[in-house]
Structure 1
Amino acid sequence: MKKGMMDKTLDFEQGAYIIIMYSFRNDYSEGAAPAVMQALFDTNLNQTVGYGGDDYCQQAADKLRQVCHAPDAQVHFTVGGTQTNVLIIHSLLRSFEAVISAASGHIANHETGGVEAKGHKVCTIETPDGKLTPTLVEAVLAGHSSEHMVAPKMVYISNSTELGTIYTKEELQGLRACCDAHGLYLFADGARVASAIAASDVTLVDMAELCHVFTFGGTKNGLLFGEAVVFAPDVDATHFRYFMKQHGALLAKGRLLGVQFLALLEDDLWLKLATHANAQSARMREGLDALHCEYFVDSPTNQSFVMLENKVIEALKDRGYEFEIEGLEGETVTCIRIVTSWATPQEAVQQFLADLGTLL
């Protein structure tokens, strides 16, 4: 039995929690928030029509429109983030049109070429913090000026980004103005939008007003699975359900999505869960600061990117801790990603920091 990690399984013989292991690898290792599981249990034997035509999905869509102050928004529910990103891009772009993304963007690095497999090039540009700006967008546009090249038609951003950074409202307004000036769609991948909102001046209302389309992620914020797609009223998404069906994304038991999102939206549970995840990450960074650790990038959300000596990282692994390796920085130092979730206990953070302190 490895020491140094927090197992959330109760040892009934000793009547106490045993320190075994804890994963900071991602924010979807756990199942679902208790309220979500309870809602699924309570509705388990109810019979409904399929493919999202049930009352739960309709109520969840209405509730999301209400929270976004967007009564005419078009709302659809899908299962996973990659599936959703590919569907949105493929449904809005013509065959010769492309999407602009930060080089660190999820569609560029972690979706196995899903967008390209549908025939749409991802035009990437390097950024220091994972965020796009109007200047960066226009630099890509300047390099695609004739029919001999793809025509960028969409700007893809993540909020929060793959580096845990966030967009301010002013920055989103600037990107939208840039998109409007050049006839581009603004698409925000909101797999972690709850974490971004909990850490910024941006609201769901702002997301609905400033984006042509955005996603409201549930998989990484307390659901078993599920992403909500929100199209602005003036975007032609008439045939989006056809794309969903054609690509295996129209879930027969669609009500499972509606039930979960209804529970997530009840009493702002989505924001409470994200606030907890961010708070545990802030507690982690306070401890890392006290240990004089250096970061690859500053992040106010539930992802922290810290530089550690390789021998320290191996020692942490030996103690059972899990995290993502983000790449080597020289021969002796590596960047690791530490992610906290809606379920991360304070004790796990404290134990990690205590163990790290003994290794430094």
Structure 2
Amino acid sequence: MDIAYIPSPSRGVLYLGPIPLRGYAFCIIIGVFVAVWLGNKRWVARGGRAGTVADIAVWAVPFGLVGGRLYHVITDYELYFSPGRNWVDAFKVWEGGLGIWGAIALGALGAWIGARRRGVAMPAYADAVAPGIAFAQAIGRWGNWFNQELYGRETHLPWALHITSSEGGRVPGYYHPTFLYESLWCVGVGFLVIWADRRFKLGHGRAFALYVAAYCVGRGWIEYMRVDDAHHILGLRLNDWTALIVFLLAVAYMIVSARLRPGREPVVEAGAAGDAEAKDGASEDGASEGKGDGKDTADGKGEAKPEDGAVKPDKVKPDKATSEKAEPAAKVDMAKADAPEADVSEVSEVKDTAEAKKG
């Protein structure tokens, strides 16, 4: 009986001329760009500089890829080092096999190195990139669809995944698309972190811890549905134990951090807030000094010309006390100034009278 299903791609690689474009690698690259883009927006909104997230990601991404591959190879070593296997396949990342636990752990180490070089606090950076990492995982999981991997038990649900390849011990059939379940779960985790961060003003690494805890909850039940070979401890798959332990650590961190360092960091990047204030101050000063009309100062030495309507110094009226003291002094000066002129005229008249009598 025909049933509805999700088809698998006939191949996981496309060729652009001689250049192979592998679906798995393409999804990871897109996810990285999304994480950096969103992380940069959140970092700037918190008061950081644009470009800081990308600079630190230059360290975090390579470390994360190496860590993800190492975790996969170590936990599934029989795929590469057992009899009849080729150990060189351990380096073929494009064929799939990146463990998120190793990617986050070693990626965090790379981010810590980049953050120290940049002079940035690691918890604040982790909070900024947390939802972007969740969205990057959601996109990256579609790489598993290209490789026809990461599926669950057989099912006849309308959204069953149709596996057609028999490589690597696969059995063609219809299975739960656990890659799709995890992709949708990661999208929800990303939006959860964004909402909680806005609602509760998470800081000091608590937004990142929330992402980790929420992801582990989903990974636990999704991992339980998978049917591919895996190591089991006390009846549970290894990744289930890892998810449980990491979940408890993340929750414990949120509780302890909230008590020791409540609230959010006032400054996430030294100097970034000062740069913004300097720019604002420069624009305000420019507006007050001539309002951008291009007028020069009065003498070219930084003294501003008096504006129209301003009270000029010679127009200022003296106060009453000053005027009362100034008036007597002015009268004395006027008397002195008039006295010599009167004396000179009288002397000239006396001389003229004397000369007239002699004549």
Specify the TM-score bucket, using the shorter chain as the normaliser: under 0.3
Q: Which has the larger radius of gyration?
A: 2
Under a length normalisation based on structure 2, what TM-score does the superposition of the two structures give?
A: 0.26
Q: Choose between structure 1 and 2: higher strand proportion.
A: 1
TM-score, normalised to structure 1, is: 0.26
